Structure 1
Amino acid sequence: MSGSSAAGFAIRIQKSLSTERFFFCILILAAVLRFAFLDLKLFHHDEAIHAWFSYKLLTTGVYVYDPSFHGPLLYYVTAGMFALLGDADLVGRIVPAFLGTLIVALVYPLYRLGYLDSRQTLVAAFFLAISPNMVYFSRFLRNDIFILFLTFVLLLALILYLERGQARYAMITAAAAGLGLSCKENMPIVLGIFGVYLLYLLWAGKVKLPARWKRDLALGVLVAAGIIVVFYSSFGVHPDRVLTFIPDAIGHWWEMHEQQRLGGPFYFYVLLLLLYELPILVLAIAGTVQFLIAGRKAASAAVRSMHEIVAISLQQIRSVLPAPPSFDKKEEFFRFCIVWMALSIAAYAYIGEKVPWLLIHQLLPLVFVAAYAMTEKKTVIAVVSSVFLVLALWHVAYVPADVNEPIMQVQNSEDMREVMALIDGSNAVAIASDRYWPLPWYYRGDRSANLSYFGKKIDEGSIAAGNYDLVIASDEDSYPALPGYEKRTYNLNYWFSWYDNKDRVLQYYFLRDGKMGNMKIDVFVPERTSA
């Protein structure tokens, strides 16, 4: 092969391995991980409730904000999907999976804007693509993936507004804020962190607001407020909720914070990071240390430079004085991500309600900090250590069984598939218990005709008079026996509790044999008569 041919071949190889092509492959991987076997598992307890409210909104047109179930955006979006594609588990999870994929895609604009280099971009996107928590909660009908996507959109729009000064970016920022506030009550944490850092940038003279910023701010407030009013008033059906949703939300979630209904230690999320996201956590710690060391070296160099300048005669100052240092957007972005990460971890450590899905709000900035100073050696470490993430991801997202993991909180048991098969074969079913979710979701519309929900244990005479093919009761308030029925016990749902496992955390980390809490139901089926 001639020298020119070899050079041409090398150039073609280099082009084929461009950042864009690598990024596209990572994006495809992210999409596959989020959309593959999307209805593999039954709906989680919360998913079933969210889907049910969305179905009721679609079929009856009724929605009223209740802070226990977060903001209205998810319900309107999901109802729209049900209207387009039908009401099903898979359809309910399509938008979360799509938004989870877009979160990976939004890393690319940061690269094009110069805030990440090629290596940082690919590593950050790869971590977001295969992170067990990012994937799991992108396959999950909850508000958090909506909030995370809107957080990223808000960040990019705000950056573009500060760089280009165009009003349209201010409006996108406002729309993202308004939609986020219409989605879940933790959006103010994001706005608070971003707002504080913006004030710092302005105070330090690192950025300047556009000339027409007051006009853009006023228009942005109108856009955000308009979105909030439309959603919380249920598109004008309940205008009174516009005045009450804020005190209701604060009152409810402050009570949950003090009650610590789903509590845990202040380091609860650190344990989850160690359990599922260890490579990202370690690299984020390393990135923070690297950033601080680099900042100290830069400060020392600046002091030495100042001493040298002072030592030179006044006549020579003009000729040797260095030009003011330019604004390093990459370094400032990582400084922001470290602050964002630290304040997010602190905020969620303080909040009394400790639930696994809140981890992803801390994980997004953590991923960017992990990508700081991504040398070739550090890149190799990131890629090799990703095996840990892949194994954890496979276990929690793609195993169709009751998995003993804290990431799954009050997950409906796979036992319920057998229970629902029994219901499908029955003409009349009595549910003599207040434990029955997710049945209202799976038996909605015409399918609910054969089910009678009593909400409590009923007397045996009522069961006999009802001529039921199937009777379901809580195992804690059940019947010792029912004449003519065979008793079977099934898991309804299950969870991993910190309080049940706090004395054996290290053992669980390696053995995954923690104590699971669960609810059980007794199912009474007709006795088989011998021929």
Structure 2
Amino acid sequence: MSAAEPSDGAPRIDRVAVAVVVLTVAALAARFVGLGARPFHWDEARVGYWSLRFLDSGAFEYRPIAGGPLLYVVDRTVFALVGATDATARAAVAVVGGLAPLAALLVRRGPDDGTVPRYRLGDAETVALAALLAASPVLLYYGRFLRGDVPLAVFSLVVVGCAIRVLDGAGPRYRYLGAAALALAVASSGFVVGYVLCWLAAAALTVDQRRLVGEGPSARDHVTRAAERLRGSTRSALGALAVFLVVHVFFYAPRVGGSIRPSPATVEAAVLGAARTFYGVRIVGRRQGGEHELLPYLSAHAETLLAASGVVLALAVVGFLADRYGRGPSRPIVAFHAYWAGASLLVFPVITEESAAWLTVHTVAPALVPAAGAVGLLVRYGTRALDRSDATAVAVAGLLGLALVGQVGVAVAGTAYGPTTTENPLVHHAQPADDLDPFVADVSAAIEGNRGTDVLFYGSTFVPAGPDGAAAERPPVSDTWGNRLPLPWYLERMGAETDGVRDLRGLEATETPPVVVADASQRSTLAPRLDGYEARTYRLSLWNREVVVFVR
């Protein structure tokens, strides 16, 4: 008899699935409310700018320095359909992050009919996992941020969930879904390499744990059986490979005129060419001078995790220890995700080129599974106390639950919806400290009806030596162009023509456009020469990036 049917045979509503769907709707709402309120971070501006350039020219080619191609391809379509704003640019990430709670259903324990192992997550743990995916401060903040970290984390959870279903003997549809999710993860970010390393380490430790505690077959037999189930029949294996390649080629293939030209050369460029390019830039390039000290990156990563997700990490530790050393049999699903999170603590500070708060996404996402196990412990404790009519124990369980919810709520209010200041542990230094809506409004009004150059960048900070016309045609770009961020996104969005001069002689030789942008230190130099202009300063980062904008 199905668990979804009562004894009288009448259909019964799956309350767990309904709860997960409700949490998913809440997660989507939480990510879309005020989605465009925060100005674009420099990294967001890069993605938005190159997506607009792709929309304008129709030309696209994967370049590792600019990140995975998924967001560029998706945002190009979004911009064509509904226009480009801060909110629409972030919408794709918000949708993926908002749908993340549905992944909890992949690791839920099914009906106890002998076909589904009992060591998956129970009903309470499944709902807890969905809630944590919906409201975890790190996932919520970067689920409203135009980077590939959250899509990579969510698609990776789906990959592992589908693999678990396949290991359980589920149908080939999970193999195909997992293959598509893996291709989307690869297209999201080059950090997918770190996920593969974490998965290998977690799998090895999980198998070894089962061998040490004497559970199940020997390690070799366990690995062999798992590999056979993951591979499946030749037909389903080839089908999964075909699904992966189709999705992969769709995102990585070069585009001309906005479309892919089907040919063997296109497939070669999307598969082998992309891999060679990634290796040359991210591996060889790093080896030739991209090293960094490990300890500062490790300590910064740990500090941010504790500040932004201390409650989640504490729950994960409790869930892992209780599962590993508790009375009942340990569950590989809890061990695997705990080891995955543990491995990420070392892997991502090693492979990253910059110590940044978004690295926490890749630790928090897998840690939510053992954290859900800890919540399940609390629920079971409270339920047993309620059955015994133990008022004291029920009160303790209730207070602990309220404290956990309150702590997560406080963390969400202080981070995901908190101020963009140094007091927010998730805010990166490249986040503008000032609202840029007045900049957009002033510049849009000033350049309306103008012919020729609309915005002139002044000074060596923003203008490279030599010709500037082709400086931003495609990544990589000069550091001086990077110093303009995030303004290029806003200027490209409004269709502004830009140019640059390095000194006063260049300014005097140029017909002054409606808008001039310079480093704030140049205000006193330019003000006497820009009579009739109003000046306003903007902080384009948390520190050391202030510009003055002269508007006629």
Task: Name the TM-score, length of structure 1 as normaliser.
Answer: 0.76
* Residues 429 and 228 (structure 1), Cα distance of their counterparts in 2 relative to 1, 3 Å cut: closer
How far 1:395 sits from its partner (Å)?
2.9
What is the match of residue 443 of structure 1?
A: 491
User: What is the 5 A alignment of 1:447-462?
Assistant: 447-449=494-496, 451-454=497-500, 456-460=501-505, 462=507
- Greater alpha carbon shift after TM alignment, 137-146 vs 115-124: 115-124
How far 1:487 sits from its partner (Å)?
7.7
How far 1:21 sits from its partner (Å)?
5.0
Whether 1:493 and 2:540 are equivalent positions in the alignment is yes
How far 1:25 sits from its partner (Å)?
4.0
Contact 1:230 1:236 in 2 (8 A): no
Segments of 5+ residues of structure 2 without an aligned counterpart are 1-11, 111-117, 208-218, 255-259, 383-396, 448-453, 463-479
How far 1:185 sits from its partner (Å)?
1.0
Q: Which residue, 415, 424, 429 being the options, matches 1:405?
A: 424
Contact 1:279 1:382 in 2 (8 A): no
Q: Which amino acid aligns with 1:441?
A: W
- Greater alpha carbon shift after TM alignment, 227-236 vs 330-339: 227-236
- Greater alpha carbon shift after TM alignment, 57-66 vs 200-209: 200-209
User: What is the 5 A alignment of 1:15-414?
Assistant: 18-20=15-17, 22-113=19-110, 115-164=120-169, 166-195=171-200, 203-205=220-222, 207-208=225-226, 209-210=228-229, 212-234=232-254, 235-236=260-261, 239=266, 241-242=269-270, 243-254=272-283, 255-256=285-286, 259=290, 264-294=296-326, 331-353=331-353, 354-373=355-374, 374-376=377-379, 380=398, 381-399=400-418, 402=421, 404-409=423-428, 410-414=430-434
How far 1:411 sits from its partner (Å)?
1.2
* Residues 408 and 252 (structure 1), Cα distance of their counterparts in 2 relative to 1, 3 Å cut: farther
What is the match of residue 521 of structure 1?
A: 547
- Cα separation, 2, equivalents of 1:419 and 1:347: 40
- Cα separation, 1, equivalents of 2:401 and 2:193: 33
Deviations along 1:223-249, one digit per CA (max 9) or x if unpaired, are 323433343222348736443322332
How far 1:42 sits from its partner (Å)?
1.6
Q: Which amino acid aligns with 1:356?
A: A
- Greater alpha carbon shift after TM alignment, 398-407 vs 112-121: 398-407
How far 1:426 sits from its partner (Å)?
2.1
* Residues 364 and 465 (structure 1), Cα distance of their counterparts in 2 relative to 1, 3 Å cut: closer
Contact 1:356 1:407 in 2 (8 A): yes
- Cα separation, 2, equivalents of 1:404 and 1:196: 35
Q: Which amino acid aligns with 1:524?
A: F
Deviations along 1:307-348, one digit per CA (max 9) or x if unpaired, are xxxxxxxxxxxxxxxxxxxxx6x7121121222122222212
Identity of aligned residues (%): 22
* Residues 130 and 167 (structure 1), Cα distance of their counterparts in 2 relative to 1, 3 Å cut: closer
- Cα separation, 2, equivalents of 1:117 and 1:133: 25
- Greater alpha carbon shift after TM alignment, 190-199 vs 90-99: 190-199
* Residues 26 and 230 (structure 1), Cα distance of their counterparts in 2 relative to 1, 3 Å cut: closer
Could you say what secondary structure the match of 1:522 adopts? strand
* Residues 82 and 289 (structure 1), Cα distance of their counterparts in 2 relative to 1, 3 Å cut: same
Contact 1:50 1:75 in 2 (8 A): yes
- Cα separation, 2, equivalents of 1:64 and 1:157: 31
Give the number of the structure whose alpha-carbon radius of gyration is greater: 1
* Residues 357 and 417 (structure 1), Cα distance of their counterparts in 2 relative to 1, 3 Å cut: same
Q: Which amino acid aligns with 1:424?
A: S
How far 1:66 sits from its partner (Å)?
1.1
How far 1:204 sits from its partner (Å)?
4.6
Q: Which amino acid aligns with 1:472?
A: V
* Residues 99 and 477 (structure 1), Cα distance of their counterparts in 2 relative to 1, 3 Å cut: same
Contact 1:429 1:471 in 2 (8 A): yes
How far 1:103 sits from its partner (Å)?
0.7
- Cα separation, 2, equivalents of 1:20 and 1:175: 23
How far 1:99 sits from its partner (Å)?
0.9
- Cα separation, 1, equivalents of 2:422 and 2:81: 33
Contact 1:475 1:489 in 2 (8 A): no
* Residues 192 and 400 (structure 1), Cα distance of their counterparts in 2 relative to 1, 3 Å cut: closer
* Residues 287 and 401 (structure 1), Cα distance of their counterparts in 2 relative to 1, 3 Å cut: closer
How far 1:396 sits from its partner (Å)?
2.9
- Cα separation, 1, equivalents of 2:242 and 2:146: 30
- Cα separation, 1, equivalents of 2:15 and 2:175: 33
- Cα separation, 1, equivalents of 2:423 and 2:541: 9
How far 1:357 sits from its partner (Å)?
1.4
- Cα separation, 2, equivalents of 1:214 and 1:136: 42
Contact 1:65 1:241 in 2 (8 A): no
Deviations along 1:64-118, one digit per CA (max 9) or x if unpaired, are 1111111212111111222222222221122211111111122134225362112
What is the match of residue 470 of structure 1?
A: 515
How far 1:461 sits from its partner (Å)?
5.9
Whether 1:482 and 2:527 are equivalent positions in the alignment is yes
- Cα separation, 2, equivalents of 1:77 and 1:102: 17
User: What is the 5 A alignment of 1:494-513?
Assistant: 494-495=541-542
- Cα separation, 1, equivalents of 2:160 and 2:520: 49
* Residues 292 and 162 (structure 1), Cα distance of their counterparts in 2 relative to 1, 3 Å cut: closer
Task: Name the TM-score, length of structure 2 as normaliser.
Answer: 0.74
Contact 2:65 2:281 in 1 (8 A): yes
How far 1:276 sits from its partner (Å)?
0.9
Contact 1:457 1:478 in 2 (8 A): no
Could you say what secondary structure the match of 1:397 adopts? coil
Q: Which amino acid aligns with 2:541?
A: Y
How far 1:16 sits from its partner (Å)?
11
- Cα separation, 2, equivalents of 1:212 and 1:419: 57
* Residues 350 and 204 (structure 1), Cα distance of their counterparts in 2 relative to 1, 3 Å cut: farther
Deviations along 1:198-256, one digit per CA (max 9) or x if unpaired, are 67757352754348444433443343234333432223487364433223323333445
Could you say what secondary structure the match of 1:431 adopts? strand
Contact 1:154 1:173 in 2 (8 A): yes
Could you say what secondary structure the match of 1:491 adopts? strand
- Cα separation, 2, equivalents of 1:384 and 1:425: 50
Q: Which amino acid aligns with 1:387?
A: G
Whether 1:418 and 2:446 are equivalent positions in the alignment is no
